[in-house]
Amino acid sequence: MADIPQNHPRYESLVTRDLIVDGVKNGITAIHGLTAHGRGEAFDYLIGEKTIEMAVCAQRAAVAMLLLAKKPVISVNGNTAALVPEGIIKLADFTQSEIEVNLFHRTETRVHRIVNHLKSKGAHDVLGQYGDAKIDLSHGRGIVDKNGIFSADVVLVPLEDGDRCQTLVGMDKKVISIDLNPLSRTSNSSTISIIDNVLRAIPNMIEFAKVMKSNNNHSLQDVIDSYNNREALSSAIYEIGENLKSHAIENNIPWNHFK
Could you list the residues known to form a binding site for ATP, using ranges. Answer: 17, 39, 179-181, 185-186, 197-198
Return the SS3 of 75: strand
Rounded Cα gap, residues 59 and 72, in angstroms: 15
As annotated, the binding site includes 17, 39, 179-181, 185-186, 197-198
CA-atom Rg of the chain in angstroms? 18
Which long-range contacts (C-beta less than 8 Å, at least 24 apart) are formed by 178-181? 178/202, 179/40, 180/40, 180/43, 180/44, 180/47, 181/39, 181/40, 181/43
Q: Give me the half-sphere count of Cα atoms (radius 13 Å) on the Cβ side of residue 25.
A: 8
Rounded Cα gap, residues 94 and 207, in angstroms: 10
Q: What is the DSSP string of 137-162?
A: -SSGGGEE-TTTGGG-SEEEEES--H
For residue 75, which of 13, 33, 118 has the smallest C-alpha distance? Answer: 118
